[in-house]
Amino acid sequence: LLAGISPDELDEWYLGIYIDAIEWVEITNTRGMSQFADGGLVGTKPYVSSANYIDKMSNHCQSCFYDKKKRHGEKACPFNSLYWHFYDRHEGLLSNNPRIGFAYRTWQKMGADERQNTLRQADQYLSAMNNL
């Protein structure tokens, strides 16, 4: 979802890799919940997260190469810049969603330079996705 991968490509991958994947179950869950590709019929908000949430809910950040607190710069966590890039990219669709209004308020409070640097970092990560 953060990387903007086509839901069709993700469905094809998922159904091909899991021998027990049942199409009517997988499509609904993948498109509706993980990809928000149905526009919010199944899930009321996109399930995207930054390093802050990942760190709170798991131990994945403890030994990670990336700095969970950084949005851009050397060793900046890809999840942070991609999170903000996603919300910036979909502002027209999502900014009025009451469940995620806080994200847009936070994004707007950041200075223009901070937002631009974050988006630039996300673009760099997206262009090097296979090397992260």
pLDDT value for 36:
79
Residues 23 and 36 in one domain: yes
Residues 59 and 37 in one domain: no
In angstroms and rounded to an integer, the radius of gyration of the C-alpha atoms of the chain is 16
Residue in 37, 45, 52, 47 with CA at minimum distance from that of residue 99: 45
Residues 36 and 61 in one domain: no
Q: Range of 38's domain?
A: 1-47
Q: What is the pLDDT tens value at each position of the chain, 132 positions in all?
A: 888 888 888 888 888 888 777 777 777 777 777 777 777 777 788 889 999 999 999 999 999 999 999 999 999 999 999 999 999 999 999 999 999 999 999 999 999 999 999 999 999 999 998 887
Residues 55 and 29 in one domain: no
- The model's pTM: 0.85
User: Could you give the C-alpha distances from 94 to 6, 39, 40, 52, 91, in angstroms and in order?
Assistant: 19, 9, 10, 21, 5
Residues 62 and 115 in one domain: yes
Residues 60 and 120 in one domain: yes
Residues 116 and 66 in one domain: yes
What's the total number of domains in the chain? 2
CATH no. for residue 72?
Answer: 1.10.10.1710
Residues 117 and 100 in one domain: yes
Residues 20 and 68 in one domain: no
pLDDT value for 74:
97
Long-range contacts of 58-64 (CB under 8 A, 24+ apart): none
